[in-house]
Amino acid sequence: EVQLVESGGTLVKPGGSLRLSCEASGFTFNTYSMNWFRQTPGKGLEWVSYISRSSSVLYHVDSVKGRFTISRDNAKNSLYLQMNSLRAEDTAVYYCARNIETAMGGADYWGRGTLVTVSS
């Protein structure tokens, strides 16, 4: 059974940093690209970042470029999102998701999410 478990979400002050983690199990992690998505009541669902199987291709949505970095450790079956210079508008539930096999950016399995709150 595919399982994705996020951790690291918490309350952080504007300008602060946070690192989200996602531990994967139930599939061969290094054969799948991965994504981070986020969701807020106001903006709905938003794709945030994508990383290819070997980390050779990285994409981030414009609103987080230069502030967030996606990475992975295939030996640890883990995905990460380093979040710097956090803003109030980054407040959201962040989901780790396995990329669909056929094309970038779709997701066939999602974790339960971790809540990031940016507030003073």
Taking CB under 8 A as the binding criterion, the range among 16-24, 38-46, 69-77, 84-92 that sits at the site for other proteins is 38-46
Query: How is the chain classified by DSSP, letter by letter?
Result: --EEEEE---EE-TT--EEEEEEEESS-GGGS-EEEEEEETTTEEEEEEEE-TTS--EEE-GGGTTTEEEEEEGGGTEEEEEE-S--GGG-EEEEEEEEPSSSTT-EEEE---EEEEE--
Instruction: Tell me: does residue 115 bind other proteins (CB under 8 A).
Output: no
Q: In this complex, which beta carbon is closest to other proteins, that of residue 11 or of residue 104?
A: 104
Instruction: Tell me: does residue 111 bind other proteins (CB under 8 A).
Output: yes
Nearest-approach distance from CB 68 to other proteins, in angstroms? 13
Contact residues toward other proteins (CB under 8 A) are 44-47, 50, 59, 61-62, 95, 100, 102-113
